[in-house]
Amino acid sequence: MSQKNLQAKESLGFVGLGAIGLPIAANLLKAGFCLQVHTRSRLAETSKQLIGAQSCSTPEDAAKGCDILLICVSDEVAVETVLFGPSGAENSLADGTTVIDLSTISPSKARSFSARLAKRNIEYIDAPVTGGTEGAADGTLTIFIGANNASFKKISSVLKAIGSAFYTFETVGKGQEVKALNQILVAGSYAAVAEAIALGETLNLPMDKVLEALQKGAANSWALSNRSQSMLKDEYPLGFKLHLHHKDLSIALRTAEESDLKLPITSKVKELEEELINQGYKDEDVSVLKRSIKR
């Protein structure tokens, strides 16, 4: 990181202003950070939420002069393009700066990006998030950090503006490995809630009362508390896009295969998601899994 006194607000670059990235960037701006933003479509750069941020035409421009660059994009191909593409951030990142990658990518790619940037004395930290659009908007994301406590301390003021729970896992790639576990649990819980609601509806149970009762016992989960009403109404406002979760499950299954481990439940949920994607639901919230349960 540069030799600026980082007790003052750091100058940040931010690339990726999607459903999760935009509210994260807005919270950084509210916290008083100087922000340079870029997103591939360019549209969200002029959002009312980002008044005061500097719009940049490329990742290279967004990274210019910043102490820390944050990336929040859809997959590892996008991360690689942001960092190392023709107008990539690597071209303008200064010696000693830090890259915080909030994206969900494979652990091996995270380690590869870290090694490439380390040659320029740039620290890359994988820091995938969970908490959905609600957590991004409220600044209450949980963040899995592939770095040690010393590295976390250097970036803590930034992360505390966007999250409320932080867990360090010592080395690059470990944050992504923990995120893979998170997405496996999300897959199982969403599918289980979908099946339970489908059976309850088939039995003509008073589902509002049933869901309230279930949330008081051992069956409760984040999916049950936050997505059961969507499934009941058959309406799926965006929290996390189905096709992105499907991509995350692919990473989790590939990671498991590398350790000769089979995950049959995760594999089945991935199949169900693939069917729904083929039916045109790729941009719906993951809770659209309810539509895979049919009589």
Query: Any idea which residues carry the catalytic annotation?
Result: 179
The CA-to-CA distance between both ends of the chain, in Å, stands at 58
Return d(Cα 72, Cα 38) in angstroms, integer.
11
Return d(Cα 210, Cα 208) in angstroms, integer.
5
Interior angle at CA 132, CA 293 and CA 25, nearest 5:
150
Return d(Cα 250, Cα 262) in angstroms, integer.
13
Q: What is the DSSP string of 69-112?
A: EEE--SSHHHHHHHHHSTT-GGGTPPTT-EEEE-S---HHHHHH
Return d(Cα 288, Cα 236) in angstroms, integer.
6
Q: Which two tokens stand for residue 6?
A: 């980082």
Closest CA to 102 of 62, 142, 58, 66: 142
Q: Are 189 and 137 in contact (CB under 8 A)?
A: no
Amino acid at 185: L
3-class state of residue 36 by DSSP: strand
Helices (H), the chain: 21-30, 59-63, 76-84, 107-118, 132-138, 149-159, 174-202, 207-214, 222-233, 242-257, 264-278
